[in-house]
Amino acid sequence: YKIVIGSDSDGHNEKMADFVTAIVVHRVGNGGRYFWRRIELPKFYTLRDRIIREVLLSLEAAKETLIALKTFDVPQFDFEIHVDIGENGQTKSMMQEVIGMVRAYNFEARTKPESYAAS
């Protein structure tokens, strides 16, 4: 199994933004399932603040997921956090900071173009 968690956001009006967190359970070679949660928060005015909030939401979901999984007898699985940043574009300067945040929680980080759960 591979469990992947990622978040993305969209500012849908001047004051509020939608944040969606996806939990993807991939049974490698046999398909998968996904679950998602949407919350509305006050809009962030800088890209950095918005990306940091996305990562924090993903980390929160990851911790909750791992706690829940410990109550079941589940097969071995890989666990990844997908972040909405990449080598190209405006988020390039945030790569080390965001990857460091994820690694500080002992999770593996994936960035664009490999971070499908954060899109």
pLDDT digits (tens, 9 = 90+) for 23-74: 999 999 999 999 999 999 998 889 999 999 999 999 999 999 999 999 999 8
Q: State how many domains the chain has.
A: 1
CA dist 106 and 19 (Å) reads: 23
* Interval 26-38: pLDDT, tens: 999 999 999 999 9
Could you list the residue range(s) of the whole structural domain that residue 37 is in? 2-118
pLDDT score at 14 = 82
| CATH number for 40 | 3.30.420
Q: Is 51 exposed, middle or buried (0-12, 13-18, 19+ CB in 10 A)?
A: buried
How much is the pTM? 0.94
The β-bridge relationship of strands 78-86 and 108-112 is parallel
